Amino acid sequence: MTRTYVVTGSASGIGRATAERIARDGHRVIDVDLHDATITVDLATADGREALVSEVRDALAGDPLDAVVANAGTMASPELCVRVNHFGAIATLEGLRPLMAGSHAPRAVATASCSVIGPHDPALVEACLAGDEEAAVAASEGVDLLGYPSSKRALARWLRAAAIGPEWAGAGIALNAVAPGIVETPMVQQHVGDPAMRELFDAAVPMPFGGHCRPEHVAELIAFLAAPGTERLTGQVVFVDGGSDAVQRGDDVF
């Protein structure tokens, strides 16, 4: 049976690999990004988020939406991390959720990060979870490199709480996240391309099994989580990080 998927951040990296992976299975992909996509919107803005929902609804033409992959993300600045990685992802999931009502096996997957277990700014995380975007943006001032992991940690915590609620589990919609390690994408390459930064990244995210990921490694897990046959799995943040989580947190965390 052909299914319809929305994939954000589809122009490159994990999003592109995911869209291609799903399309190879014969499914329809509505691709979304800032450019080079069927739907071009800016998920850092309220207007962009509203346009996303409207344009997806138009593209569906009355058919149900089967899965949402909220993958769009950035490392550009703490403010954009807050707006895109946290609030943009949630707006994508919440905004498109009603369109999945007619699917026989609705699924939603967000892209978090293995950095959710690392250093973060607690005040910024709590500001994100409070749901006040402008207050969270204000809290992001001066956090520098902690903006990205903090936004992803907040997203993962939101997802864990939301997934078991009436709007998601109660409506039969599975909601999970992937937590990649270092992935060789254009977003990351500008950082790990510098030998000193690469050494810093590798120290922070040790990946003993195979080293850095390629986008298709993560896409394979996303496709699994979004598949109709993957049942009774929800509220999970699944690490695809070459063992980094196990290295950093040890054997007493499951």
Please tell me the distance from the alpha carbon of residue 22 to that of residue 29, in angstroms, as a whole number.
7
- The H or E element that residue 238 is part of is strand 237-240
Question: Catalytic residue at 5?
Answer: no
Across 55-194, the runs of DSSP E, i.e. the strands, are 67-70, 107-111, 174-180
List the catalytic residue out of 31, 84, 113, 148: 148
Sheet holding 174-180, edge to edge: 39-40, 28-33, 4-8, 67-70, 107-111, 174-180, 237-240
CA distance 92 to 113: 18
Q: How crowded is residue 94: how many other Cβ atoms within 10 Å of its Cβ?
A: 17
Q: How far apart are the first and last CA of the chain?
A: 35
Strand pairing class (174-180; 237-240): parallel
The β-bridge relationship of strands 39-40 and 28-33 is parallel
Strand partners, 239: 179
Catalytic residues: 148
